[in-house]
Amino acid sequence: MKLLLAKLCEYACKLENQRHCMVGIFDDIRLPALPIDHPAFFICVQVEFDTDEAGTDWVMEAVFLDPDGRQQFRAELHGQVPPPDPSAIPVKLFAIIGAPPFRLERGGDYRLDVLVNGHVIGEERIPVFVVGR
């Protein structure tokens, strides 16, 4: 398996036509001051599984770490790898994980680690900084 996409956004959902929607995608966090309580947001992840993994159970974790590597929060999602679609091999899975509100104490390079079944499959760097008004 491999990570294809990991993005933070203000809102995400699955539409009736089975497509996904991400609104307010952000690659960094710009704040007027620190410390501050950051509101809840969404983590959108797309993972590509090998066809031999079809039907297996998975646990996906999103772990947000501060610049010192301390965990700020951890969110988890459970599921099963869907069967292969003959028209779209390998198997791709899009997951939406809700991130809770949390307190940001200081700026720096934060990191989002994405794990499946306990194995890190990718990471995303999230710079946090204060901007002038």
Query: Which is more confidently placed, 84 or 117?
Result: 117
Query: For residues 78 and 96, what is the distance between their CA atoms, to the nearest angstrom?
Result: 11
53-81: average pLDDT = 93
Question: Residue 88 above 80 pLDDT?
Answer: no
Question: Residue 133 above 70 pLDDT?
Answer: no
At 30-62, the pLDDT tens digits run 999 999 999 999 999 999 988 888 889 999 999
Map residue 39 onto helix, strand or coil.
coil
Question: Residue 85 above 90 pLDDT?
Answer: no
124-129: average pLDDT = 96
| CATH architecture of the domain covering 2-130 | Sandwich (2.60)
20-34: average pLDDT = 95
The pTM score is 0.88
What residues contact residue 122 under an 8 Å CB cut-off, 6+ apart?
2, 3, 6, 113, 114
Q: Where are the domains of the chain?
A: 2-130
Yes or no: say if 1 and 52 are a contact pair by the CB < 8 Å rule. no
Structure tokens at 5: 């996409």
